[in-house]
Amino acid sequence: MSLHTDAVLPLRAVLLVGGSGTRLWPMSRETYPKQFLPLFEGRSPLELTFSRVAAVAPHGPIAIANEAHRFIAAEQLRLSGYPADGTLLLEPAGRNTAPAIALAALLAVRDAADALLLVLPSDHAVPDSEAFAIAVCRALPAAQQGQLVTFGVVPDYPETGYGYLRASDKPQGLDGQVFDVEAFVEKPDLDHAKAYLESGHYLWNSGMFLFRASRYLEELGRHRPDILAACQESMAELRHDGDFTRINEAAFKRCPAESIDYAVMEQATSVATVRLDAGWSDIGSWEALMRLGCPDADGNVLSGDVMATSCRNVYARADGRLVALLGLEDVVVVDTPDAVLIASRDQAQKVRDLVTSLKYQGRPEAIAPRRVVRPWGHYDGVDAGDRFQVKRITVRPGAKLSLQLHHHRAEHWVVVRGTARVTRDDETFLLSENQSAYIPLGVRHRLENPGSIPLELIEVQSGAYLGEDDIVRFDDQYGR
């Protein structure tokens, strides 16, 4: 649905690509958080968010991602049709939403005198795209007039995991679509959540906003001048690096971390809300993801190769192998290649505490999944032991790894699908299926996929040290 309005200011989407999603462990990890996971029929929340917003604000989008996730974000946005006039702005460190949005607003006023910014987290679900577009259209006049508009989700059950906002009884103007925000409310206990639902005046705080870039900067400067000053210094000298736009790292790392709610929305004047009834969810827990699923006759939501017998109200997800369940009720079961979660549904919100404990114990499962994404493709750690490691490597068509060497390990490559171009010191040669190559320790080498289908190979590493930091790069098209 395209928006045909009399808007003087351009409407630009701002995608917030940060967030850790720890409550969706073991699928969501620090190095591969929930916004990138194929949660919805093979598509990620980031891909769906951009597809949804491109229908209403197709020109000049701004995506703000963490430096560590830059290649994942760039690839998923590319697959979603991210336009050439879009910007992928990198944060050298996470500083929450207020600074991230300030960077986008400063970029917007640098590009033009001003713009309307439609700010959206990229790790939420909004199944009804048409209702979303209608809500944006309703919010445009108020935003153009200088109000800071938030989208308040009409609640359908007493949720204790969301913040709320209290809307005024009477709408602004004659159209009856925009309401003043009287207060922002922290996450309530169950009794208060039930009372909010019954009153009809409380909405879930979605974290989605629409406002003029200049108005946001004005309010941020009034209430948090320290954040604005740090962001201005960060944006003083932009550097363009392929798909990415980089800011001043040292200046941004000095910026305080704060959410837009605390820094601006709860302090500002002229804050309004438009009601949104579009099936919204922040996908903040396995329980939330279960609500978005399609339950069977016994209330089970099953994904992947799952067999459930005599089970009721179970959420189960399998990634690869068969998961068989018998006689379970009100539980969450999530199976991944390197970790399995089994939890009571009423305890699923506490998964974050479990991840904290794993980090304290130094467990790698808290940080990274077994399948690791790289700008050229991905690899999967199949097996490991004393002085050896086995990986399954997939290289995208036309992609190539860096020219590199290792001081502490040798590698043996066996091609199982596709064609590989191998550089080994001064020689370059092709390998086809069932052919192999040996890369001795200390030898410069490079792997490329010159073909039109993905290259798949098995890599066997052997040596005294097998860490990923044992790489000396001489040339890399991705700037690493």
CATH (domain of 378):
2.60.120.10
pLDDT category at 190 given cuts 50, 70, 90 is very high
> Are 102 and 196 part of one and the same domain?
yes
| Residue range 80-93: mean pLDDT, rounded | 94
Please tell me whether residue 253 adopts helix, strand or coil conformation.
Answer: helix
> Are 333 and 434 part of one and the same domain?
no
For residue 415, the tally of other CB atoms under 10 A from its CB is 21
What proportion of the chain, given as a percentage, has pLDDT over 70?
A: 98
> Are 384 and 319 part of one and the same domain?
no
pLDDT of residue 468: 85
pLDDT category at 36 given cuts 50, 70, 90 is very high
Residue 242 has pLDDT above 90, yes or no: no
Does residue 162 lie in a domain region? yes
> Are 415 and 460 part of one and the same domain?
yes
pLDDT of residue 480: 76
Which stretches within 350-392 are classed as H helix? 351-360
Q: In degrees to the nearest 10, what's the CA dihedral of 49, 55, 61, 63? A: 0
Does residue 281 lie in a domain region? no
Does residue 365 lie in a domain region? no
Q: Residue 383: which domain range?
A: 371-475
Does residue 73 lie in a domain region? yes
**Average pLDDT of every residue of the chain:** 93
Contacts of 16 (CB under 8 A, 6+ apart): 64, 97, 100, 101, 119, 120, 121, 122
User: Which of 4-18, 166-180, 412-426, 442-456 bottoms out in mean pLDDT, i.e. has the lowest?
Assistant: 4-18
Does residue 142 lie in a domain region? yes
pLDDT of residue 213: 97
Please tell me whether residue 92 adopts helix, strand or coil conformation.
Answer: coil
| Residue range 14-30: mean pLDDT, rounded | 91
pTM score of the predicted model: 0.88
> Are 246 and 353 part of one and the same domain?
no
pLDDT category at 174 given cuts 50, 70, 90 is low
Residue 1 has pLDDT above 50, yes or no: no
Residue 6 has pLDDT above 50, yes or no: no
Backbone angles phi, psi at 139, to 5 degrees: -85, -20
Residue 7 has pLDDT above 70, yes or no: no
Q: Distance between CA 302 and CA 294 in Å, rounded? A: 8
Contacts of 382 (CB under 8 A, 6+ apart): 390, 391, 392, 458
pLDDT of residue 253: 96
Q: Distance between CA 362 and CA 371 in Å, rounded? A: 19
pLDDT category at 19 given cuts 50, 70, 90 is confident
In degrees, rounded to 5, the angle at the alpha carbon of residue 416 between the alpha carbons of residues 414 and 422 is: 50
> Are 243 and 329 part of one and the same domain?
no
pLDDT of residue 3: 47
> Are 329 and 468 part of one and the same domain?
no
CATH of the domain at 48: 3.90.550.10
446: number of CA atoms within 13 Å, CB side?
A: 21
Q: Distance between CA 189 and CA 384 in Å, rounded? A: 46
> Are 160 and 250 part of one and the same domain?
yes
DSSP secondary structure, 293-361, as one string: S---TTS-EEESSEEEES-BS-EEEESSS-EEEES-BSEEEEE-SS-EEEEEGGGGGGHHHHHHHHHHT
| Residue range 109-120: mean pLDDT, rounded | 93
E strands, 108-201, are 116-121, 148-153, 164-172, 178-185
Does residue 1 lie in a domain region? no
| Residue range 307-312: mean pLDDT, rounded | 97
Which of 334, 359, 384 corresponds to the end of one domain?
359
CB 314 within 8 A of CB 240: no
pLDDT of residue 2: 44
Residue 119 has pLDDT above 80, yes or no: yes
Does residue 442 lie in a domain region? yes
What proportion of the chain, given as a percentage, has pLDDT over 90?
A: 83
Handedness of CA 166, 169, 170, 176 (dihedral sign): positive
> Are 196 and 102 part of one and the same domain?
yes
pLDDT of residue 92: 94
**Helix (H) / strand (E) containing 198:** helix 190-199
Which token pair is 370?
């077994």
pLDDT of residue 16: 97
Handedness of CA 18, 20, 21, 24 (dihedral sign): positive
Residue 130 has pLDDT above 80, yes or no: yes
Does residue 364 lie in a domain region? no
> Are 355 and 394 part of one and the same domain?
no
Structural domain count of the chain? 3
> Are 345 and 381 part of one and the same domain?
no
User: Which of 281-285, 391-395, 414-418, 435-439 bottoms out in mean pLDDT, i.e. has the lowest?
Assistant: 281-285
pLDDT of residue 457: 97
Q: pLDDT tens digit string along 321-377? A: 999 999 999 999 999 999 999 999 999 889 999 999 999 999 989 998 988 888 899
| Residue range 236-251: mean pLDDT, rounded | 92
Q: pLDDT tens digit string along 405-456? A: 999 999 999 999 999 999 999 999 999 999 999 999 999 999 999 999 999 9
> Are 193 and 129 part of one and the same domain?
yes
Residue 5 has pLDDT above 50, yes or no: no
Q: pLDDT tens digit string along 37-81? A: 999 988 999 999 999 999 999 889 999 999 989 999 999 999 899
342 residue type, one letter: I
Contacts of 360 (CB under 8 A, 6+ apart): none
